[in-house]
Amino acid sequence: MSRVVSGIRPTGKLHLGNYFGAVNSFLKMQEEHECFFFIADIHSLTTHPAPSDLHSNVKQVLAEHLAMGVDPEKCALFIQSDVPAIAELYTYMNMNAYLGELERSTSFKEKIRSQKDNVNAGLLTYPVLMAVDILAHHADFVPVGKDQQQHLEMTRTFANRFNHMYGNTYFNEPKAYSNTGKLIKVPGLTAQGKMSKSSGDADTIVFDEEDQVIRKKIMRAVTDNGPTEPGMPKSEGLQNLFDIMNLVSDKSTIAHFEDLHQTAQIRYGDLKKQIAEDVLKFVAPIREKINHYKNDSKALAIAAKIGAEKANESANKTLQEVRGIIGFKNFYK
């Protein structure tokens, strides 16, 4: 069975885009592959979170994944820092990464622009840690968006460089996970592209928000002045709303509002109210489960422990084999 590795930084609560863009795919993957899904708390240290915030964010993401159907019995759902071998492998792989290629990384260039007062070494070597996350478990496939393609290429570069340096074929070259279904890109509410926390709070529909907050965000979503004649094309903001409706509403509701738009009779207030109601129907049961898990410390502990055991078994094997390849040998037993 092929292996899949994917991680998410615990930088905030999951939104509708996270669910349809990633987590929903995890549910299919865990049935078809040997999966390692991790909460990347070590990666998040590049932004220097307060210790209490770091722990609460990890707890939030763990609860959300469980609530959305990621099953610890079917995959390895773990917290990155629970696997010490990752940090040691990161040290070794850094010896095979060169300053020039790291400085040319698109993510590094973007980070030094966005956080000029915190350009730390972790930002520079971010692709190395990401590579180790993947190579530690000998992943065959990695689900990546366009913004992560370069990191996957660098992972292959580091793997091949290690193999060449030590004259072996130990690491395989992981490939991008090919989703045979239609890739779902959930648009944001502010017409700035896909739904993203980086576009501001008003852009996202977060599962763990109160009903009135979600309603208010949708009612304030960016649109235009409306069609002035039948058959007019949709503006970007309006198309975004219809794209969200296609994810949460039934076919008859979608057809009704499509017809109103085509005949130039659509009222955006009615459209937004309908979308808000359908979003809340979709979000409510998942939010209830999130709150359940957040208040069930035992369930969280069991899930984290099961995931850590699976991940440690895999990563520790890789670590010991890498140490042997490099030439580390103990003088004692």
| Residue 111 known to be catalytic | yes
Residues sharing a CB contact under 8 Å with residue 324, sequence separation 6 or more, in sequence order: none
Asked if residue 190 belongs to a domain, the reply is no
114 and 221 housed in the same domain? no
Token couple for 162: 């290690």
Asked if residue 189 belongs to a domain, the reply is no
Closest CA to 242 of 208, 268, 214: 268
- On whether the CB atoms of residues 10 and 52 are closer than 8 A, the answer is no
95 and 237 housed in the same domain? no
- On whether the CB atoms of residues 240 and 275 are closer than 8 A, the answer is no
Tokens 């990666």, located at residue: 43
The parent domain of residue 211 ranges over 197-291
Token couple for 1: 């069975």
Instruction: Please work out, in degrees rounded to the nearest 5, the angle formed at the alpha carbon of residue 221 by the alpha carbons of 220 and 223.
Output: 115
pLDDT value, residue 180: 55
Amino acid identity of residue 289, one-letter, is K
208 and 125 housed in the same domain? no
Closest CA to 294 of 74, 77, 68, 56: 56
CATH number of the domain residue 37 falls in: 3.40.50.620
Asked if residue 78 belongs to a domain, the reply is yes
Angstrom distance (rounded) from CA 136 to CA 1: 17
Q: Which of 59, 74, 185, 197 is catalytic?
A: 197
Asked if residue 63 belongs to a domain, the reply is yes
First to last CA, the chain: 35
Q: Which of 28, 59, 74, 111 is catalytic?
A: 111
317 and 226 housed in the same domain? no
61 and 170 housed in the same domain? yes
What's the number of domains the chain is made of? 2
56 and 116 housed in the same domain? yes
pLDDT value, residue 299: 97
237 and 96 housed in the same domain? no
CATH number of the domain residue 233 falls in: 1.10.240.10
Token couple for 201: 């709070």
Tokens 């692709």, located at residue: 127
Angstrom distance (rounded) from CA 181 to CA 192: 25
Closest CA to 266 of 223, 220, 215, 227: 227
Beta bridge partners of 206: 15
Closest CA to 292 of 68, 94, 70: 68
pLDDT tens digits in sequence order for the chain, 333 residues long: 899 999 999 988 899 998 988 898 899 999 999 999 999 999 999 989 999 999 999 999 999 999 999 999 999 999 999 999 999 999 999 999 999 999 998 888 888 887 888 899 999 999 999 999 999 999 999 987 666 778 899 999 999 999 999 999 999 999 988 765 556 789 999 988 889 887 889 999 999 899 999 999 999 999 988 888 898 999 899 999 999 999 999 999 999 999 999 999 999 999 999 999 999 999 999 999 999 999 999 999 999 999 999 999 999 999 999 999 999 999 997
Angstrom distance (rounded) from CA 169 to CA 173: 10
20 and 147 housed in the same domain? yes
Q: Which of 74, 175, 194, 289 is catalytic?
A: 194
86 and 167 housed in the same domain? yes
Token couple for 232: 């007019």
276 and 171 housed in the same domain? no
275 and 303 housed in the same domain? no
Residues sharing a CB contact under 8 Å with residue 256, sequence separation 6 or more, in sequence order: none
Asked if residue 136 belongs to a domain, the reply is yes
**Phi/psi of residue 131, nearest 5 degrees:** -65, -40
| Residue 216 known to be catalytic | no
87 and 178 housed in the same domain? yes
| Residue 197 known to be catalytic | yes
Angstrom distance (rounded) from CA 185 to CA 297: 33
Angstrom distance (rounded) from CA 93 to CA 234: 50
